[in-house]
Chain A
Amino acid sequence: MSVATQIEVEQRVGPEIKPAPPRYRNEIGKFRVYRSAACTRCGRCAELCPYGVHQMGRGGRQMPRPRDYRCIGPSCRETGHYCIAACPAGALSLSINPSFESLGDWRWTADLLVATWLEAETGQMPGPHLESSLGASGGGFDRLRFRFPEAAAQADSLRHGLRKEDISTRVMLNRRNDGRPRVTIDVPFYGGGMSFGSVSIHTMLAKARAAAAWNTFTCTGEGGYPDPLIPYANHVITQVATGLFGVREETIQRAPIVEFKYAQGAKPGLGGHLLGDKVTPAVAAIREAVVGYPLFSPFPFHSVYSVEDHKKHLDWIAHVNPRALLSVKVSTPGDVDMVAVGSYFAGAHIVHLDGSYGGTGAAPDIAKKNIAMPIEYGIARVHQFLVAEGIRDAVTVVASGGVRTPDDAAKAIALGADAVVIGTAEMVALGCIRCANCESGRGCARGIATTDPELVEMMPLEWAGQRLINLYNAWRERLVEILWRLGLPSIADLRGRTDLLSHLDYESAEARR
């Protein structure tokens, strides 16, 4: 019986989507609109622009600077709203924003960053002036495409009158039939573990609010369970990692899911290291450590050297909390398929694969680039192996480490994951620019990944929570759009459907043309 049919079809109304405009005065978009002194304040541009770039000055005063991050660029010419041509005084000019060109990298391009900011502001996917589904890494997700039906007739017959509002994005997390709660999430993604100390309490709470609003999860990471998260306990996974920081009986008993972190994709096999600067009094208290001293999470669990040890480990938590689901987070070595099977037999409900290109608060550059394999390979290898072993439907596979967009998420699921875990995308939604300085000095200069009291206040909690709620909405809508175009009534029906994917480097793509 497929998982889709096990889940009762029930549509929930999503949380309220409210605009969460940028917290900086000059938000960076792709384009720069410049208004010269020739402006006569006639207001023609403000009338014309449906995107809110132009506004009238109050009381006939000078017009404010254009909010050009909302501009859709030269393609606006075809829409009839093109202010540049319409300005009677010729006072407006349009160019690429030079700061935009300094943003981004191969994995997170400037387009992806700006698109994610807009998703978090509006709750909708941005228009086609931004590439919001692909990066420029030249491999993996960036070379995979969905094989959407091309002919309209073909598409119609595929859909059989399927309506978008009937499509389910719900995912079952407990497939073991072991009497533990049948936990489901309403969107096929949840928030990855980020410890208190590596990120601010506002960041943690914003993630928890979004998780509660969308009936999904966030994760404490390895750094203890701050009390302000307790009201969201039904949506908070807590982590047991090698340093055992903040692991207490009550935190385990509070959690619907307990995650064992064996390794992190960005630095597999290396363990964690919180620099002394970040061990503030609050962090030290929750981790039961000393202020100002660096904290190491060693690698690996020193009590685990076999599947049997691993099972003992899981049994311990299973007894402390008889309601908890057990998740095992591992990275992607060459034998990741064997690791996954071992985790299942040790009692895991969820096998969480964290690929090598995933995020981190700090890791050696050599590790981020080189150690372990990208998640795209890991998912396919594990899925096929679990199918061959006949246990695929008894375990939930979630994937993380390089899932940047809803398209990446859908591709990961088509390759064989049940759901994905996201991290960097959430940080970007909160205003991260991937400057990579999370770890140094006072921490994140954007106020996201820091515990510096002054920097933390840069990001208001209300705003941050709404940004993530909006982001989740945009992602869900895009996922529904993909499922609808493929004629699938449920995200569960997409799992392992590699036949719906093509890879641009392979003949499957040739055959399609």
Chain B
Amino acid sequence: MSDGSDESGAGTGRGTGKGRGKREAMPERYHIHTKNAPPRFRPVGRLGIVDWREDCAGCHNCVKRACVYDLYRDETDYVKGERSFLDYLYQCKGCLNCVQNCTKGLLTRIVNPEFERLGDEYYTPDMIVTTWFQAETGRIPVSGAGYRGRFSGSGFDAMWTDMSEIVRPTRDGIHGREYISTSVDIGRKLSCLSFDGAELASEAPLRIESPLPILFDRLPAPWASERLYGAVLQAANRTGLRAIVPEEWIANPPSAVSPQPSALSTQDCVIPLLSDVIAQLNEGLIAGAKMVEITDNDHVFVKAGLVKAVNPEVIVAIRVEATPQSAARIAELTKDGAEVVHVVFNPHGREQDGAHPRHARSVLREIHKRLVEDRIRDEVTLISSGGIALAEHLAKAIICGADAVAISLPLIVALECRLCRACENGEPCPVQLQDIGLDYAADRITNLLSAWHLQLLEVMGAMGIREVRRLRGETGRAMFRDDLEREIFAPIFGKK
């Protein structure tokens, strides 16, 4: 109620800014087309019913016939091969009616042990299954009853996004979400314009626009293949997003199976990740790219200079490992003219080294704050990757200071991967990722992106934020557990 007028006013004022295309009565809306993409393999659900048939009295009012969800009938159809897989969310819903009504009490509900083995300590089974659902349907996961998880946790679980009781991004209520912009600029930005008399003297820096604050990152080793990169690029083309692909995969993929030219040949959506060997310069690749990425090292600007000499119109992003020195290094790179910095956390969202690697939540805030203090924040685009597993992480990483995120593991999980790591041990993949169809895989990834897009709109709508650009570093639209504890509980209960 307190911050009503200025927020909505500012939001309205910026509605016609650049990047929104022509001024029309109805601005063109970003929309991802989805297509139902049912799983190829029987998915792993959480609950199952075990029955002890030996005591069964064979009574005529068997509870299985009364199942509210017709599960047992569907299961029979499935066994007979009349139907494909049951939707995993609609396999046993665990309503307990059969367990509690069985004449002889023969049925028991159990948690599926296979479900509990999904993922790892960061990618929990619930996260894997919700990603599957989104990849299948393209929809926002919705459920009844209240929140079921822990009060708070580490990493992104130690913060909440805020909402506003009064402020809205538009005054159209639920339909206003269509007017929320999720578009971001990638590239260097001017901190101010300069004029020569009445003439604009500043030159607009290079930039590309992404309709979502998401890029696809290079695929981790066990999954890097021509097939999966092909799927990622197809999804990128459909969604208007961009994908970072190591140059060796574009030029001559190591596992090239087909004699024809690589499917990964230069496309607009490809951001080649260049070798950091100075002398190695694939001029054709650079000439055709809108943006390239180079791994940070002492002579990164030498390489960047050579790249720019080949193609002055290319944006050069610098890929930096997240360490305790990241903030200082990124400030230095920015002062030296870096256009885009991509900070890379480990797959669990933590720093790559250090005795107690910090989570991106803290590190991104530190980097953002440092850049703000050095008055160079708006000059550089900050991309964060690692540990972005859910749509909420996307919103939270941006609140903590990233302009955009890059993701890879969620794309793999979308293709039914269970993160079982069998592939790393040379064992066969239980969901046969090596044989996945290109179109189908792209459907699943596109669906996931659609669900993330919609969820980003949900939280931004609740926050009363009209543009995702304005969400970056906007910690005032979030609440951090440690702050709430310090402000509210510490005065009551003393020191921690």
* A interface, CB within 8 angstroms of B: 24-28, 65, 98-99, 101-102, 105-108, 137-140, 142-143, 242, 262-263, 266, 268-271, 273, 296, 298-300, 302, 304-307, 310, 330-331, 333-335, 338-339, 342, 356-374, 377, 380-381, 384, 401-402, 424, 432-442, 444-446, 449, 455, 498, 501-503, 505-509, 511
Contacts and interface: CB of A to CB of B under 8 A. Distances in A.
Contacts of B90: 440
Given A364-B458, A442-B68, A373 B392 contact: no
A434 B145 CA distance: 6
Nearest to B105: A26
Contacts, number: 267
B458 A435 contact: no
Interface of B: 1-5, 8, 47, 50, 68-69, 90, 93-97, 99-105, 108-111, 130, 140-152, 160-166, 168, 171, 173-175, 390-392, 395-396, 455, 458-459, 461-464, 476, 479, 484-485, 487-496
A370 B459 contact: yes
Contact of B94 (A310, A360, A435): A435
A268 B462 contact: yes
B146 A99 contact: no
A374 B162 CA distance: 11
A433 B94 CA distance: 9
Contacts of B165: 262-263, 269, 300, 330-331, 333, 339
Nearest to A341: B1
B96 A433 contact: yes
B4 A305 contact: yes
Contacts of B459: 366-367, 370-371
Contact of A424 (B2, B145, B150, B396): B145
B496 A302 contact: no
A269 B143 CA distance: 17
Given A106-B150, A445-B93, A508 B143 contact: no
Contacts of B147: 107, 266, 356-357, 368-369
Contacts of B152: 138-139
A262 to B, nearest CB: 6
Contact of A508 (B2, B68, B108, B493): B493
Instruction: Give the interface centre of B90, B146, B464 by most chain A CB atoms within 10 Å.
Output: B146
Given A98-B108, A300-B165, 15 more contacts: A102-B111, A107-B148, A107-B149, A269-B462, A307-B1, A338-B2, A363-B143, A364-B455, A368-B147, A370-B161, A373-B484, A436-B144, A439-B142, A445-B97, A507-B495
Instruction: Give the interface centre of B4, B90, B489, B491 by most chain A CB atoms within 10 Å.
Output: B489
A366 B496 contact: no
B479 A334 contact: yes
Given A106-B150, A300-B168, A435 B461 contact: no
Nearest to A372: B163
Given A334-B162, A370-B392, A377-B488, A361 B148 contact: no
A362 B142 CA distance: 6
B141 A365 contact: yes
A173 to B, nearest CB: 22
A439 B163 contact: no
Given A139-B152, A361-B144, A28 B96 contact: yes
Given A26-B105, A439-B142, A367 B94 contact: no
B144 A438 contact: yes
B68 A333 contact: no
